[in-house]
Amino acid sequence: MSAPQAEAVAGDLAGLHFRPMGESDLGWVAAQDAQLYPFPWSEGNFADSISAGYACWVMLDGAERVGYGVLMMVIDEAHILNISVVAARQRGGLGCCLLGHFAELARESGARRLLLEVRPSNGPALALYARAGFQTIGRRKGYYPAVGGREDGLVMSLAL
């Protein structure tokens, strides 16, 4: 995203802020995941991520929760395990803001690169990651459950 585009998005989303995910968010986050994905994370998956010390965040627009994600740090790498914007608010720049938040957290923690996996069938996510500068560096065969079998996961990386 170019600087003018980023400034325009930031101006439209001036009320955005982030806070750590808490126990009171778990039901909401799991419900959102169930609406967004055919094979969602459970409330327990999110609770386990908090317990493991992963960076679990909720994105808010004013008082409204509009996104969430989970970031795992491993030495000098950061790995986005889950990044999601609620269905009603997709395609409005929120994914870019949430991704930017995780990139900044990773940099602050000393990460040199940010990694994630994405389904090849997830065109909107692939476009978002490409605009952010991610590059595909590998493919994990049968990584994701899918209707009627498994789907590969593309491994993407962003140098920080």
pLDDT (tens digit, 9 = 90+) per residue, 87-125?
999 988 999 999 999 999 999 999 999 999 999 999 999
Task: Report phi then psi at 58, rounded to 5.
Answer: -115, 135
**Can you give the pLDDT at residue 148?**
86
Predicted local distance difference test score (pLDDT) of residue 14: 76
Task: Tell me how far apart the alpha carbons of residues 148 and 158 are, in angstroms, rounded to a whole number.
Answer: 32
Which domains are seen in the chain, by residue range? 3-159 (3.40.630.30)
Tokens of 77: 């790498």
| Tokens 């997709």 -> residue | 90
Buried b (16+ CB within 10 A) or exposed e, 66-87: bbbbbbbbeeebbbbbbbbbbe
Closest CA to 100 of 64, 59, 138: 59
Active-site residues: which are they? 117, 129
CA 23/CA 68 separation, integer angstroms: 13
According to DSSP H, which parts of the chain are helical? 3-12, 26-36, 43-51, 94-108, 123-132
> Would you give the distance in Å from CA 154 to the centre of its chain?
15
Quick: pLDDT tens for 44-69: 999 999 999 999 999 999 999 999 99
pLDDT score recorded for residue 12: 58
Per-residue pLDDT reduced to its tens digit, 126-145 = 999 999 999 999 999 999 98
Q: How far apart are CA 43 and CA 102, in angstroms?
A: 21
Distance of CA 112 to the CA centre of its chain: 18
d(CA 136, CA 130) in angstroms, rounded, equals 9
